[in-house]
Structure 1
């Protein structure tokens, strides 16, 4: 029997799967209870794509040899192929009890955890596997998938940087294309998708994913053309991705009723919470476009409920973070006068940035597009360059979390220079610096003390919008699991978030030196030339005529507009979003309006 086993294993290694199957069936006919023969037969069947048969044989082998590590490992892998992540997880847990702890086990168990939506656990498991075997491409791709699920896109891009496409098989290249798109490596993803579609024109998933990427890049005609290559009667799977792609493209081609049909069709299926959220947000956008306020609000309630569930799936058990916890980082006393002085290394560095901030959905992306046209400015749109520096500062052994002012004041000239250099290094990862930097990251307004210490010559552009419009727009926006799943779950919670952030800003402005130019979204829409003239004078730059036709520039832009409102800024300037909250006023509770009333008055708006 041992000789027959060895020959069958050799047949498997040489790709003679049918020969191995024949030999093992002959052996098992003579010795029906031979578990090792069942295991090899199962491997031969799995290699031929007969996954369910392989699983049955391995289950029988496990009953006969419950202490066989290899049987449980193989059963786990076959269950993964059979898309049964729960059964795979059980098999791998049995293997762990028998001593499995190598990279093969970490990879298999990590994939099973991903399949069970235990994303944080999967990420930890796969990170360990990659640390042990960084050259294993299957491990790297699996870890990258966990990073994408966690929306840790900066780390995802770094993880994929070492992947050699030429070394991948077709399935791995398909996985890589989607991961590249998630990481914002748009040019590489597009090239790979075109190759994949050429190689397998009937494959549906790459077309759907490619269409979603093209829509994200505001290339609607191309996205629609790619989707037309898919037979609408074909089986698209149960993920909801095809219907989401169709809904987005139809909405943007002014066919909201058709878009609604696609989104509702997907929601009849059992889809993951993150996809449920995307589909419900899409429904809300289309109902809003049709003026169907109540339907839009119903969809939004479902969207946020699903988004919270998706968020919880991506956290370790019991680790739900406090909402707005980072606002505890604040100055308790007025900053020292020395902070306003230029730093010694300043002449050797680029000019201190312009920080474009505002409560989310206040119009910062619109202003960013207007500024991006200017040849004397370079816009960094929503990249966490400053956050990387802050994390580095706070990880120092001498850092004091209990007193931000003291911690910042204690930074030596060398530490300040190193922090500034780290910032510029992060910026240059995303764009070349040929003009003065405009760092557009709306909630950098809650990092005022850090900016004051690191960049004393910085300028600030603060954009305001009617607080009720801001709150409504945030509630209607799919920010992603890391960008508002908890703070924006209702109009009232969004209003509380607005009040907390604006209170923080005004409190800290009294304690920190800063040069701030305040603009209003409504003024931008009403009289762009006048607002732009004053703004460019503040920046000591001459205005450019092409800034008034910024939408043309945004449409032709090669790199991604890295903001949830990417589809809006390629449209000509219009006042359709001004006062939109009034259509939804019946859904603003008395408590919500009471929270916002002081800010409405403070900024010169009304609740009429």
Structure 2
């Protein structure tokens, strides 16, 4: 054996072992001895590619291809390198030369099929894959490619058969598992599809495409928590398609994590500002959070967009702002829309409007087609049950919701739990407490945003530092800078905070700080602050913090001389900073019995009830620790008073704070109270064993 042959053999051994740097050096040694050899140049190019020097490798492959344009193997490797570098159009020429020299080149036929598939040339792609399979009927890449083409051609059964053959040939082939998942999904077998996608993700955990498909499927099946994890992973892996961003936001919305969902949509719209689907989802989230004026602003930006979905959003906005006639008129236009889901949503909205107007017969008329067609999804079932119950037919209402709760095949646990909680509230209000209790067993689905806020803004070490703090010094004197102290609002879910915010949104006399700038205001105060850090702030720093906190009011003529309202949620460890920056500021403290709050959380479907109770108790102790020591004007707002005598309670509160809670404010409170557990809270003693920690 010649020295040259020996070196080449050693180089091939090193290449096969994955030692590409050593293999490159040996191939170069052989090339020096043999002179220009396109095959050796090709191997050097492959070594460079696989050791992370893709551009250098491409140069070598191009040089090899130029020396021997008729070598199909070299031309195929050059085409593959161009595809890997994101230059598929440039890859077509070497592929053509390869197939001219060798029409039966299996890998080239398959690669050309994938290029055609990427270019949406589905029929041409299918022809390429079929030609490849005539060369080797069990070639997995051609089988998976043909399966994907057949899915686009509306042939899911054929796609499944080819994907199953590919998976049988190579069970560890992620592409085969992915294709099989798509086929199963197209055939309605979402459980099998999910398992195949999980297999693919385990085989190829760094594939954003696989995680994106899994997250999309999970979200569609109501597995929102798992969908969030999968879609977040897809984003981190660079698979940030529109579907992934909006699917992630939608799943967060379904979990009740509305702050995070809105942030996600806003980040998406920074990338794609004019995307109408993203704009529409932002409107939905704003309406879900009661931010009607902001929703109106976004809808105005969508003025050029016409179509049924925008009409539905306008109807939702009209409903949220109490313009029920307009909401009814807009929704009625869509009852027979071509898109079934949209028509159903419009009928559902009509049902809600009719219920709000006290016209149960009209509500049932709007919803009945959904029930008759078997499309009684949770929202329409719940609304229909409400309208039936309003007529005193509790047993019929119970039957509607029990069908939903017991349908384990059709509905996810979280959907069934929502139906069960709704039924529990109806039975509780009817005095059937024992029956109501049995429908409180399914676990909650609703994520409490405040728990995440506490973990982020008030970590355990900071809480411990403030819990031990007793030296608050002298109560700070007022800072004379011509700026008014804001009015702050505390409170947890079920305390009446949400009702007060709804009334404040409609009140006259005060000006609200933007919720969108809440983080900016926190940063203006330097939060979070430990006790020693707060003590070190001099008057100059305090004045600057006030200026930045209230900076959005500069130039606003409508704010002159009016009370300023900050609707942000504040953790207790932020109160000392508020007292230093805004001495004497009013802080509204909604108050409810602890046991009643726990019952509200249970009925509202919150998860982590034990943690909520523990964190609430700790925050309450912290508040009682701070209250006598801080220069803040704490204004007590009893929930019972707010529920039983809203007009008188708001009038008293308004008089003390310079606010005018007139009829629109009362309507806003009433609207926010509707379809919530507030009217059940007084019955908490009947469920003591379920709410006591």
Distance between the aligned counterparts of 1:216 and 1:323, measured in 2? 41
Q: CA deviation at 1:41?
A: 2.6
Q: CA deviation at 1:82?
A: 5.3
Change beyond 3 A, Cα 1:269–1:532: closer
Q: CA deviation at 1:47?
A: 0.7
Partner secondary structure for residue 513 of structure 1:
coil
- Deviation per CA, 1:552-587: give whole Å up to 9, x if none: 4657xxxxx7x6x35479xxxxxx969x73x55454
Alpha carbons 1:293, 1:584 under 8 Å: kept = no
Change beyond 3 A, Cα 1:198–1:365: closer
Q: Pick from 426, 431, 434: which aligns with 1:294?
A: 434
Alpha carbons 2:334, 2:346 under 8 Å: kept = no
Change beyond 3 A, Cα 1:584–1:92: closer
Residue of structure 2 in register with 1:375 after alignment: 508
Q: CA deviation at 1:520?
A: 3.6
Q: CA deviation at 1:455?
A: 2.8
Residue of structure 1 in register with 2:533 after alignment: 407
Distance between the aligned counterparts of 1:258 and 1:520, measured in 2? 36
Residue of structure 2 in register with 1:261 after alignment: 399
Q: Pick from 467, 485, 489: which aligns with 1:352?
A: 485
Q: How does 1:410-449 map to 2 (within 5 A)?
A: 410-411=536-537, 435-440=562-567, 447-449=574-576
Partner secondary structure for residue 476 of structure 1:
helix
Residue of structure 1 in register with 2:418 after alignment: 278
Change beyond 3 A, Cα 1:554–1:286: same
Residue of structure 1 in register with 2:9 after alignment: none
Q: Pick from 629, 635, 639: which aligns with 1:511?
A: 629
Alpha carbons 1:24, 1:37 under 8 Å: kept = yes
Q: CA deviation at 1:266?
A: 0.8
Q: Pick from 157, 161, 165: which aligns with 1:60?
A: 165
Change beyond 3 A, Cα 1:329–1:380: farther
Distance between the aligned counterparts of 1:32 and 1:376, measured in 2? 78
Partner secondary structure for residue 44 of structure 1:
helix
Alpha carbons 1:35, 1:65 under 8 Å: kept = yes
Q: CA deviation at 1:265?
A: 1.4
Change beyond 3 A, Cα 1:355–1:213: farther
Distance between the aligned counterparts of 1:420 and 1:475, measured in 2? 39
Partner secondary structure for residue 236 of structure 1:
coil
Partner secondary structure for residue 431 of structure 2:
coil
Residue of structure 2 in register with 1:194 after alignment: 311
Residue of structure 1 in register with 2:373 after alignment: 234
Change beyond 3 A, Cα 1:450–1:124: farther
Distance between the aligned counterparts of 2:155 and 2:553, measured in 1? 50
Q: How does 1:15-54 map to 2 (within 5 A)?
A: 17=122, 32-54=137-159
Change beyond 3 A, Cα 1:451–1:273: farther
Does residue 1:204 correspond to 2:343, yes or no? no
Distance between the aligned counterparts of 2:155 and 2:524, measured in 1? 51
Change beyond 3 A, Cα 1:149–1:468: closer
Alpha carbons 1:330, 1:508 under 8 Å: kept = no
Q: CA deviation at 1:332?
A: 2.8
Partner secondary structure for residue 444 of structure 2:
helix
Partner secondary structure for residue 456 of structure 1:
coil
Alpha carbons 2:487, 2:586 under 8 Å: kept = yes
Residue of structure 1 in register with 2:494 after alignment: 361
Distance between the aligned counterparts of 2:644 and 2:687, measured in 1? 27
Partner secondary structure for residue 155 of structure 1:
helix
Distance between the aligned counterparts of 2:309 and 2:255, measured in 1? 24
Distance between the aligned counterparts of 1:123 and 1:115, measured in 2? 12
- 202-211 vs 245-254, which moves further: 245-254
Residue of structure 2 in register with 1:306 after alignment: 443
Alpha carbons 2:601, 2:609 under 8 Å: kept = no
Alpha carbons 1:193, 1:206 under 8 Å: kept = no
Q: Pick from 322, 327, 330: which aligns with 2:466?
A: 330
Instruction: Judging by fraction of residues, say which structure has more helix.
Output: 2
Distance between the aligned counterparts of 2:475 and 2:638, measured in 1? 29
Distance between the aligned counterparts of 1:323 and 1:249, measured in 2? 45
Alpha carbons 2:334, 2:343 under 8 Å: kept = no
Partner secondary structure for residue 283 of structure 1:
helix
Distance between the aligned counterparts of 1:551 and 1:59, measured in 2? 62
Q: How does 1:174-189 map to 2 (within 5 A)?
A: 187=296
Distance between the aligned counterparts of 1:501 and 1:526, measured in 2? 27
Residue of structure 2 in register with 1:159 after alignment: 264
Alpha carbons 2:598, 2:691 under 8 Å: kept = no
Distance between the aligned counterparts of 2:205 and 2:615, measured in 1? 47
Partner secondary structure for residue 330 of structure 1:
helix
- Deviation per CA, 1:533-556: give whole Å up to 9, x if none: 6534432x3x75x6367434657x
Q: CA deviation at 1:12?
A: 5.0
Change beyond 3 A, Cα 1:501–1:232: same
Unaligned ranges ≥5, structure 1: 489-493, 556-560, 570-575, 596-608
TM-score of the aligned structures, taking structure 1 as reference length = 0.68
Task: Name the Cα RMSD after superposition.
Answer: 5.3
Q: CA deviation at 1:389?
A: 5.5
Distance between the aligned counterparts of 1:92 and 1:590, measured in 2? 39
Alpha carbons 2:599, 2:691 under 8 Å: kept = no
Alpha carbons 1:69, 1:100 under 8 Å: kept = no
Change beyond 3 A, Cα 1:533–1:591: closer
- Deviation per CA, 1:404-429: give whole Å up to 9, x if none: 4223323466765676567557999x
Change beyond 3 A, Cα 1:20–1:97: same
Residue of structure 1 in register with 2:582 after alignment: 455
Q: CA deviation at 1:46?
A: 0.8
Unaligned ranges ≥5, structure 2: 1-103, 300-306, 314-332
Distance between the aligned counterparts of 2:213 and 2:690, measured in 1? 53
Distance between the aligned counterparts of 1:73 and 1:368, measured in 2? 48
Change beyond 3 A, Cα 1:474–1:53: same
TM-score of the aligned structures, taking structure 2 as reference length = 0.61
Q: CA deviation at 1:50?
A: 3.6
Distance between the aligned counterparts of 2:239 and 2:491, measured in 1? 41
Residue of structure 2 in register with 1:600 after alignment: none
Count of aligned pairs: 540
Change beyond 3 A, Cα 1:167–1:335: same
Partner secondary structure for residue 462 of structure 1:
strand
Where relative contact order (Cα < 8 A, 6+ residues apart) is larger, the structure is 1
- Deviation per CA, 1:76-121: give whole Å up to 9, x if none: 4445555666655654565566666354344235446657877666
Alpha carbons 2:355, 2:387 under 8 Å: kept = no
Change beyond 3 A, Cα 1:70–1:449: same
- 102-111 vs 88-97, which moves further: 88-97
Q: CA deviation at 1:45?
A: 2.0
Q: How does 1:482-497 map to 2 (within 5 A)?
A: 485-487=609-611
